[in-house]
């Protein structure tokens, strides 16, 4: 039996603009994880099981859209495997779907790692390899992903990311003082693919305006990296508020997100913004040990469906 897990993620700065080559910052959310288990089966075939989604099918019978089948096909091609042995692949996830926390990328990364281990090929499955394969699967579901989600989920550390050719710029960076973030779920679900597509339509219709908005996000992401590296959390908070305004101008926020961002700010958060594709999903709020409880209570009282605490830190920090 082979088992692997992968974390959720939050985008701290630069969502959407990152698709257009501007820098962005993302971090893993290690408390919520996707898990994949691969086991030998005494029944013929490859059995795909996702209990949370009510999916139980055979690989040969899975339709084109099936996310787990896509992972298996990618792995099969990547390692030149003529056929899989009889086995079952079961995926479960604590990460809410379509909420901006990267559930799809995490399920894929966990399934890739568990499969590679089961096939005796774990040594090939480096973070870079898992990330590249996860990206291929993300492309099937999301059209034009930037690559930031698969990167942060596969490397499981905060990254400064720039989409570029021939190779993306992926830089882990130092977090001088751990940052305490709340991720609050509006409960509204949205399709990353559709929101990204809608931003593209708007960019095509108003290229100058959207290029300027993307540039603004890039400037904020760069400044945020410096502020995180020097431990200036008040500045990180201010930059989050500014990033939220730019995302509002891109029309990817929503009344629910705006409402909860305002609630977090009023409850003492140093800054707050939507996170991920938007039009639903999660917002993040930067809090301190002193303001965390009040901000969490206020968010729940205002209708947040759940509030997670996530700590942004360098891998080696306690
Ligand atoms: C989604 O987590 C982040 C977006 O910027 C899309 C992407 O980067 O692929 C909205």
Q: Tokens representing 7?
A: 């974390």
Among candidate residues 212, 214, 222, 264, the one with its CA nearest the CA of residue 241: 264
Mean pLDDT for the chain? Answer: 95
Over residues 278-310, the pLDDT tens digits come to: 999 999 999 999 999 999 999 999 999 999 999
| Cα 62 to ligand 1 centroid, rounded to whole Å | 27
State whether the beta carbon of 279 lies less than 6 angstroms from ligand 1.
no
Over residues 45-54, the pLDDT tens digits come to: 999 999 988 8
State whether the beta carbon of 163 lies less than 6 angstroms from ligand 1.
no
> Are both 2-172 and 179-312 of the same fold?
no
Over residues 57-79, the pLDDT tens digits come to: 999 999 888 889 999 999 999 99
- What whole-number distance in Å separates Cα of residue 284 and Cα of residue 10? 8
CATH of 179-312, picked from 3.50.50.60, 3.30.70.890, 3.30.200.20, 3.30.470.10, is 3.30.70.890
Over residues 140-162, the pLDDT tens digits come to: 888 789 999 999 999 999 999 99
Answer yes or no: 149 catalytic.
Answer: yes
Among candidate residues 102, 6, 104, 89, the one with its CA nearest the CA of residue 51: 89
Q: Is the peptide bond before 166 cis (omega within 30 degrees of 0)?
A: yes
- What whole-number distance in Å separates Cα of residue 136 and Cα of residue 209? 31
The catalytically annotated residue of 63, 117, 149, 198 is 149
The pTM of the full predicted model, rounded to 2 decimals, is: 0.95
State whether the beta carbon of 149 lies less than 6 angstroms from ligand 1.
yes
Alpha helix segments (H runs only) across the chain: 67-78, 103-118, 127-142, 148-155, 192-205, 207-230, 233-249, 255-266, 292-301
Give the pLDDT mean for 29-34: 94
> Does CATH place domain 2-172 in 3.40.190.10?
no
């Amino acid at each position: 039996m082979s088992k692997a897990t992968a974390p959720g993620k939050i985008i701290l700065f630069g969502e959407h603009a990152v698709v257009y080559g501007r820098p962005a910052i993302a971090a893993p959310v290690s408390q919520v994880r996707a898990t994949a288990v691969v086991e030998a089966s005494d029944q013929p075939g490859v059995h795909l099981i996702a209990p949370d989604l009510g999916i139980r099918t055979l690989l040969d019978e899975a339709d084109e859209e099936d996310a787990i089948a896509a992972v298996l096909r990618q792995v099969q091609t990547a390692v030149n495997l003529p056929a899989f042995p009889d086995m079952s692949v079961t995926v479960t996830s604590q990460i809410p779907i379509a909420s901006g926390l990267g559930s799809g990328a995490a399920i894929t990364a966990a399934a890739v790692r568990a499969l590679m281990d089961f096939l005796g090929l774990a040594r090939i499955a480096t973070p870079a390899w898992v990330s590249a394969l996860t990206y291929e699967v993300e492309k099937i579901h999301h059209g034009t992903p930037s690559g930031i989600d698969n990167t942060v989920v596969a490397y499981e550390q905060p990254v400064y990311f720039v989409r570029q050719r021939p190779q993306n710029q992926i830089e882990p960076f130092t977090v001088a003082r751990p940052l305490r973030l709340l991720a609050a779920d509006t409960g509204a679900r949205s399709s990353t693919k559709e929101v990204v597509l809608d931003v593209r339509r708007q960019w095509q219709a108003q290229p100058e305006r959207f290029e300027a908005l993307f540039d603004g996000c890039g400037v904020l992401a760069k400044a945020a990296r410096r502020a995180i590296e020097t431990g200036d959390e008040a500045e990180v908070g201010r930059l989050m508020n500014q990033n939220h305004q730019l995302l509002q101008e891109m029309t990817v926020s929503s009344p629910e997100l705006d409402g909860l961002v305002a609630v977090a700010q009023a409850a003492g958060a140093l800054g707050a913004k939507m996170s991920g594709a938007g039009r639903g999903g999660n917002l993040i709020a930067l809090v301190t040990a002193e303001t965390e409880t009040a901000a969490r209570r206020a968010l729940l009282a205002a209708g947040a469906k759940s509030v997670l605490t996530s700590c942004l830190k360098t891998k080696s920090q306690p």
